[in-house]
Amino acid sequence: MTTTIWILLPILLFLILSYRRASLVVWTLTYTVYFVALTWLSSLSVVTLAIFWTLFLATVLVLNFRPLRRILITQYLYKIYRKSLPTLSTTEREALAAGTVGWDGELFSGMPNWSKMLAFPKPQLSEEELAFINNTVSHLCGMIDNWDITHNRFNLPDEIWDYLRSKGFFGIIIPKEFGGLGFSAYAHSTILTMIAGRSMSVGSVVAVPNSLGPAELLLHYGTKEQQDHYLPRLAQGIEIPCFALTGPEAGSDASSMPDYGIICKGTFDGKEVTGILLNWDKRYITLAPIATVLGLAFKLYDPNHLIGEKESLGITCALIPTNLPGISIGRRHYPLNCAFPNGPTQGKDVFIPLDFIIGGLKMAGQGWRMLTECLAAGRAISLPSMATGGSEVAAYATGAYSRIRNQFHLPIGKFGGVEEALSRIAGNTYIMEATRVFTVGAIDRGEKPAVPAAISKYHVTELARRVVNDAMDIHGGKGICMGPKNYIANTYQETPISITVEGANILTRSMIIFGQGAIRCHPYVLKEMESISADNPNLGLKQFDNAFFPHLGFILSNSVRTFILGITTARFVAAPNKPLKRYYQHLTRFSAALAFVSDVAMFTLGGSLKRKEKLSGRLGDVLSMLYLGSAVLKQYDEHGQLDFELPVVHWACQSILERAQNRLHEALVNFPNPVLGFLLRLWVFPLGQRHTQPTDKLGHNVARMMLDPDSLRSSLARDVYLTPGIKNPVGSMEIVLQKIIAAEPLEQKLQQAIRDKKIKGYTYAERVQDAQSNKIITEEEALQLLDAYKARREVLAVDDFSPAELEGRFVDTAITDTSEDAIATPHAVHASSRDLFADSD
């Protein structure tokens, strides 16, 4: 063998072993064989071979013999790490420990196992859940008159409140043993999707008791006495819960809340007991104006050491009846014309017994952990489901409207500009539904998907904003004139609510998705950080050693994979043999690139990375696109790889890949170290940026499918309430669309006759009559045209009102005084907000 081959062979072995992510044992054996072959087959001198063998054996001994490795290498690196990396605070540690790692960990590995993802069981509704949705939920949707709720009442009518209570809507997540429905996360999500498609006001009322709040906290942490007392009452709607976390000075930063409780002696129910004296000022609390039981987060202090040596115990959660002295509750906020009860609550010297703490005394100071552990499920279900419901209705209605509405004797959906918007509506709605189902499926598999929940919450609500904006643009004046005939304006108004609550989207993107994802989803970083925080340095050194060297191999593998996959456009990556194989391959490439760039960023920036929010946001977008792309591919597979879905799946995947590419490129262009950023761009994008937005031809195909009654449009609206009725104009649009499509050939014949000047008339009816008189159409065809025309005009109609109907909707005055005296003064409870539940005991 020539010298060139002996030089190239170890390089080739290095690339192969790195690409395949071989273990240290495999590396050792492979290079042992190489050096044996080199010794026997090469012409190198004995001295040269001795030098090579000495270096090789020394390296092998140090790397494979861990006690020696720790003495010679790891202890010095460990000291450097302990000095350079900040230790985890208690709140950070609890946030990172909350939830589980599932498919998000695969995406951060650089080598996602697609067969594993495709093997995840498809979410299914049980017979009981399906019957509840088809009957009970459908009946509720038929009762809803959203214009009446948001414009006339600014409240749900009594019959809907009674129906929600009597049919168990407040106990969807509560097990049957406590009188709840005990439904799956998928059923829970589908119920909210369907209801929110009719009314976000009603959807929010159903969502909150089944989301992050008293019921979920009681299920996970409550004492048996608390569970036995409250859960049946919550399930039956006897108690209406709310949970108060946010205040004027503490929103996303819950650790800065000024609300506090002092452990002291006091009187409760005529007896002197050890309890908590509470003071709080909260706002934006959904269901607070009508709540009978208040979940409260506050900081707990024990200055007199009545329960222990510790004075500051930390954030604590308690469950408090709202009729206690000192509680002010009942006033309402006015969130974007959405009528779900939401408002402030204050407490002044409210005394409660210690056993009001959720979970009892042992859970004092554990509130932050409780909240972070429970937040994932609520964030993954409530807001993505409601945003998806609104978008599915918008997609279904806008597709029909684009075929029904004519301009220049042509359906507006056939104009290029409208086609662009229609294709975006279809593609983004498909992505939203895929992400919703993919995430709740993980919950039903027993996971607590903290990072996927944040991804789903952020991107589904953001995509909803795009969908409804496009829908409003297409509807034009029809969309902006509010009234009973308007089915899109309320969704447009209310979309920012989902974007704002349960972690504002700006915060979620710039701090949570990558901030938590880079640590939680990474196979080694959290272990390294925990080793640095270890109380026992020797144990910490061992933990660090066990994580650090595999981490080096991880970086090495992803660096090689990133370049090879970039230079080959991932064409030779093993992927499922599906019609969409190339998308699996491209996502694998970006998985490796994200893992590699993330490691480079963490190694070079250290603890300052969490303050680089723009960089964090962009890298979080890449992780999110990998997750959304996975969801789309999974949904297409679960739907049976339907032919009519293929164009929109192509559109979705191409859009996702283009965004992942651009966000990663932006991260490298703006990398804090410009030289390193430039080198990383050459390494990650050796052939440049090759992914583009979906082509006009593909968008045209998707848009045309949105104009048809069946296939894609119906698939996107599978969870939409479509029963026709005066309260549900969207349900009636399908009937109109069928009439319009059936009359289109006749309409073309009529318009041709007009152009040929064969018929006359000033109005549509006159022209149709003249066409019939001139034997151009038959009497039956004339009636069909007039019927289709009348139906079209009904869809295009907008509401108008007398000035008196629009004036003086609200006569109550708002509290705008923010002085300390005004804040400290309890506001009177509005009887009109709470009389519905006054006799619920």
Catalytic residues: 502
Tokens in use for 61?
A: 């001994």
In terms of Cα–Cα distance, which of 630, 637, 639 is closest to 718? 639
User: How far out from the chain centre does Cα 332 lie?
Assistant: 27
What size, in residues, is the chain? 841
Three-state DSSP class for residue 113: coil
In angstroms, the CA 776 to CA 760 distance is: 12
DSSP-assigned beta bridge partners for residue 243: 295
In angstroms, the CA 271 to CA 530 distance is: 47
Other C-beta atoms within 10 Å of 96: how many? Answer: 19
Report in angstroms the alpha-carbon separations of 71 from 75, 449, 541, 542, 553. Answer: 6, 39, 10, 11, 20
Structural contact between residues 711 and 705, judged by C-beta atoms closer than 8 angstroms = yes
Residue 221 half-sphere exposure toward CB, CA atoms < 13 A: 29
In angstroms, the CA 756 to CA 746 distance is: 15
Q: Checking DSSP bridges between strand 342-353 and strand 271-286, what pairing results, if any?
A: antiparallel
Structural contact between residues 592 and 110, judged by C-beta atoms closer than 8 angstroms = yes
Report in angstroms the alpha-carbon separations of 365 from 359, 370, 828, 832. Answer: 11, 10, 32, 37
Three-state DSSP class for residue 294: strand
Three-state DSSP class for residue 271: strand
User: Tokens 């949705």 belong to which residue?
Assistant: 133
Report in angstroms the alpha-carbon separations of 491 from 143, 154, 467, 636. Answer: 18, 16, 10, 27
In angstroms, the CA 554 to CA 22 distance is: 10
In angstroms, the CA 510 to CA 749 distance is: 57
In angstroms, the CA 393 to CA 405 distance is: 18
